[in-house]
Structure formats: C-alpha cells, structure tokens
C-alpha cells in the first residue's frame, strides 16, 4: 500500500519531468526560456554543494535557506499565535465575532501586493517587512479555519461536559480544541503554504539573501536556470515544512493524532 501511494505521489512530477526533457531535447522552446533539466540540475548542485568562486551563486544555499526559514517561521508563528485564539473566540462568542469578523474579512480581500509599499515605508527593506507580509498572509486562513472549527462544535457537547463537572476553562482544552482540531490543522497548513508565497514577495524588495532574493537576482542577470532552481527548492522546502508541521501537531496533540 505504501509503495503504491508513493508511486501515485511521484506520478505527476515524473510526467512533468519527462515532458520537460522532451520539450528541451526536441527544441520546441528556446533554451533561454526553458533551460534543459540537466542544466538546471547542474546549477542546483553548484548552488547547494559548490564553493565560492565556482559561480555567481555557488555555495550560497545554506545561508539563503537559513534567512528564508527564519522569516517564514517568525511570520507564521506570529500569525498562528494571534489567529487561533481570535478565531476560536470569534467562533464561540457573538460579541467578539461582531467586533472583528467584518473588519478581518474586509482586510482579507486586500491583495498582498498592496501591503508591500506600506510595509517598506513602515519597516524599510529587510526582515521586518518580510515577516510582516508573511504574518499578514498566514493570519487569514488560520483565523477563518479556527472560527469555522469553533462554530462546528455543537452546544450539546458543552452541556454534556458541564454535567460531568467540566468547567468552562477546562472545556476549552477538553472539548473545543479537540473538536476544532481538524479545522485548525487545515488552517495552519494553508497558512504555511501561503507563507512561502509571500516570503518570495517580501524578498523581491532587495534583501541581500534568501531564496526569493536569488530568484530576483537571477532574473536581472538572465539566468533562467537559477530561477527554476529557486522555484523547485521552494516547492521542496515548503513540502518539507508542511510535513514537519503535521508531525509536530501529532506529537503535541492527541486529537491531532486521531484526525491525521
């Protein structure tokens, strides 16, 4: 079963890679628009395993990875710390919902690119702008899913808990969080995915390091293969972060183990 699942997971990437090889080999697309996969692979190896002097980006990977991970984790953590409690409160308390939901839903409609000029004025070019953009982007899906999860908890469960002597405060951890956990996890995973998208937006502003900065520099230098290397690495690292998030949720919460 696991072997079959693995093959199904790899089927689409392998098909895309085969098509890429075919298109590049036949020459249907000019190489300056879509470099050959082997060229991209060589550029990726130099970027990850190379040393200074072997190329423009050789040996930069670990520093860029550390910078990007720091920005993503700071922004994502800030969003989760704010969005989960606020979403749960909005889902259970009508007063809180009326106070925050309309404003939050209005802000959610504002494209992230609109926040970029304001963030640069407020925070300048650097980590604070990127963390702000990542936190803003991740906040909305986490908040909305936490709110939905809290609303789905039927009042009868609280009544049953009260009959068993469960206090309101304890009910948060014994009833609300376990039953809202599937939605909370869905929101966190969506937030993590969108965090990487907005990380690149923040790093396109001129920061000296980071995976998004590499993509922007490569565009200006006309190195299409490095643009593709950056895209592929972000996809792989984003997937790894998603799996790590799932693992940590399982490790920390029994209700998450039952749901995932």
* Mean per-residue pLDDT of the chain: 86
Q: What is the pLDDT of residues 227-239, one digit of tens each?
A: 999 999 999 999 9
- Contact (CB, 8 A) for 43 and 226: yes
At 216 the three-state DSSP class reads helix
**pLDDT exceeds 60 at position 259:** no
pTM > 0.75: yes
pLDDT in tens, 47-100: 998 877 677 788 889 999 999 999 999 999 999 999 999 999 998 888 888 888
* pLDDT confidence of residue 258: 61
Question: Which residues have C-beta within 8 Å of that of residue 113, sequence separation ≥ 6?
Answer: 201
Asked if residue 187 has pLDDT above 90, the reply is yes
State the Cα–Cα distance between residues 231 and 50, nearest whole angstrom: 19
- Residue for token pair 């959610």: 108
Is the per-residue pLDDT at 211 higher than 80? Answer: yes
CB 129, CB 123: distance < 8 Å:
yes
pLDDT at position 25 is 84
Check pLDDT > 90 for residue 135. Answer: yes
pLDDT tops 90 at residue 147: yes
Task: Count the neighbouring beta carbons within 10 Å of the beta carbon of residue 77.
Answer: 15
What span, in angstroms and rounded, lies between the C-alpha atoms of 173 and 110?
34
Instruction: Output the CA torsion 86→90→93→99 (10° steps).
Output: 100
């Amino acid at each position: 079963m696991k072997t079959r699942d693995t093959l199904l997971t790899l089927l689409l990437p392998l098909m895309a890679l085969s098509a890429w090889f075919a298109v590049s080999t036949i020459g249907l697309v000019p190489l300056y628009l879509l470099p050959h996969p082997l060229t991209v692979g060589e550029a990726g190896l130099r970027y990850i395993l190379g040393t200074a002097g072997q190329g423009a980006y050789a040996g930069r990977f670990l520093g860029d990875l550390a910078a990007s991970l720091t920005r993503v984790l700071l922004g994502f953590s800030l969003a989760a710390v704010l969005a989960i409690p606020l979403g749960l409160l909005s889902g259970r308390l009508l007063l809180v919902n009326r106070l925050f939901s309309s404003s939050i839903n209005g802000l959610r409609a504002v494209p992230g690119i609109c926040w970029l000029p304001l963030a640069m004025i407020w925070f300048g070019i650097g980590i604070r702008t990127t963390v702000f953009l990542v936190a803003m982007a991740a906040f909305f899906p986490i908040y909305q899913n936490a709110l939905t999860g809290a609303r789905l908890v039927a009042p009868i469960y609280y009544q049953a808990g009260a009959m068993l002597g469960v206090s309101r405060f304890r009910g948060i951890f014994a009833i609300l969080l376990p039953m809202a956990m599937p939605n909370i996890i869905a929101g966190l995973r969506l937030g993590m995915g969108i965090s990487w998208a907005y990380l690149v937006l923040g790093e396109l502003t001129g920061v000296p390091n980071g995976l998004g900065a590499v993509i922007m520099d490569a565009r200006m230098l006309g190195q299409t293969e490095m643009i593709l290397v950056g895209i592929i690495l972000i996809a792989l690292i984003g997937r790894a972060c998603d799996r790590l998030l799932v693992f940590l949720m399982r490790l920390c919460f029994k209700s998450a183990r039952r749901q995932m």
